[in-house]
């Protein structure tokens, strides 16, 4: 019990020090939130398909007026009210203000006495740079007209297709990025913190004074690990609260599994920062070393884009980075509803890195 007292004491001191450090607070709490707000604003409003279009109704028929009203009420279409001519629509397409232009010609919706019902052909104009959006919009318009045609003309269709969703919801862009941002939060806490703090404490002689006390290296390490685990849980909690309240991110798994994985990930990645910061004599040595370690993991571990987009050899190699199993574990818990007991490969990889990293950290750590 006496040996644990210094651990608890230094852990409390370290937590107080972190919350007095404005730079530390920024990188641990604010910096990841900035990414969340940016990506949440881009991908988190809704996952439905929507198009910004211009609508030009050149017809005076009653059917055309009703059809135009239906398009304006349809959530798929965001109709621009500033377009009244084809030239204005093409200009807005060139600068990216709209995705396409829908034109209802003068004869659209006119009653055909021979057929006994109204007819017409709508025109969809899109920019060549937005070809995928134009083709998709054309398919949606054909689907809308197919429904209208079925009401006007009875047609027996020999072949049909049934669309059925799976039981589980798919992974949205924000769900994917959110799990990566949680990993980025732990990375910032575990690497950028120690590689900044320890060299600064060496320069000020603080670690040298610690060395004159009875505290041992393992006790000092344990105190820092404990304090960073507490702060890590707080940082993840803040990210979750903002994501749920602002972007309706859903949690499929259980929070206990998330907390346990957060603690293991924090301890592991803190060991990386501890080794780098403990070895470096000053901040000039520590800063490049921290960037050299952190940036490959940021871009190769699936923080901002999926690893399956990488070449096969790079995807395989990136699986062995310490941040990769942490992010994969977060995604499995948050989006797939798995528990801590079901992510054995990720836990094994993190545990292996934990042992290797702390062996290195104990060997290279210097008090001054």
The 10s digit of each residue's pLDDT in 83-108 is: 888 888 888 887 778 888 889 999 88
Q: pLDDT tens for residues 181-194?
A: 999 999 888 887 77
Fold classification of 51-152 is: abc type-2 transporter like fold (3.40.1710)
Domain range annotation of the chain: 4-44+172-364, 51-152
Q: Which residues contact 225 (CB under 8 A, 6 or more apart)?
A: 266, 267, 270
- Note the pLDDT of residue 48: 54
- Between CA 36 and CA 188 the distance in angstroms is 14
- The tokens for 277 are 């910061």
Counting as low any pLDDT under 70, the low residues of the chain are 1-3, 42-49, 129-130, 154-172, 283, 368
- Note the pLDDT of residue 14: 75
Which helix (H) or strand (E) segment is 361 a member of? helix 344-364
- Note the pLDDT of residue 289: 80
DSSP string for residues in 181-205: HHHHHHHIIIIIHHHHHHHHHHHTT
Three-class HEC string of 137-183? HHHHHHHHHHHHHHHHCCCCCCCCCCCCCCCCCCCCHHHHHHHHHHH
- Note the pLDDT of residue 214: 74
């Amino acid at each position: 019990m006496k040996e644990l007292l210094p651990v608890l004491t230094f852990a409390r001191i370290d937590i107080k020090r972190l919350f007095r450090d404005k730079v530390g607070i920024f990188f641990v709490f604010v910096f990841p939130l900035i990414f969340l707000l940016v990506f949440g604003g881009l991908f988190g409003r809704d996952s439905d398909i929507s198009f910004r279009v211009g609508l030009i109704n050149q017809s005076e028929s009653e059917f055309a007026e009703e059809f135009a009203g239906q398009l304006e009420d349809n959530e798929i279409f965001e109709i621009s009210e500033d377009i009244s001519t084809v030239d204005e629509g093409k200009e807005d397409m060139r600068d990216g203000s709209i995705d396409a232009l829908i034109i209802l010609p003068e004869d659209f919706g006119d009653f055909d006495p021979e057929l006994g019902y109204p007819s017409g052909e709508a025109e969809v104009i899109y920019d060549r740079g937005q070809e995928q959006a134009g083709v998709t919009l054309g398919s949606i318009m054909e689907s809308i007209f197919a429904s209208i045609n079925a009401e006007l003309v009875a047609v027996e269709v020999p072949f049909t297709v049934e669309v059925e969703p799976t039981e589980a919801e798919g992974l949205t862009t924000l769900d994917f990025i959110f799990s990566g941002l949680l990993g980025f939060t732990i990375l910032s806490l575990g690497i950028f913190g120690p590689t900044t703090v320890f060299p600064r404490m060496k320069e000020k002689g603080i670690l040298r004074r610690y060395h004159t006390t009875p505290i041992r290296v393992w006790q000092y390490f344990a105190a820092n690990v404990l304090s960073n685990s507490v702060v890590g849980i707080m940082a993840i909690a803040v990210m979750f609260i903002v994501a749920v309240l602002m972007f309706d991110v859903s949690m499929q798994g259980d929070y206990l599994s998330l907390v346990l994985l957060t603690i293991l990930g924090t301890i592991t990645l803190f060991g990386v920062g501890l080794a780098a910061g403990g070895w470096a004599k000053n901040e000039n040595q520590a800063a490049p070393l921290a960037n050299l370690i952190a940036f490959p993991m940021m871009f190769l571990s699936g923080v901002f884009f999926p690893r399956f987009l990488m070449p096969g050899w790079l995807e395989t190699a990136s699986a062995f980075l310490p941040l990769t199993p942490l992010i994969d574990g977060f995604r499995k818990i948050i989006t797939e509803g798995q528990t801590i007991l079901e992510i054995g490969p990720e836990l094994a990889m993190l545990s292996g890195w934990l042992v290797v990293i702390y062996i290195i950290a104990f060997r290279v750590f210097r008090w001054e």
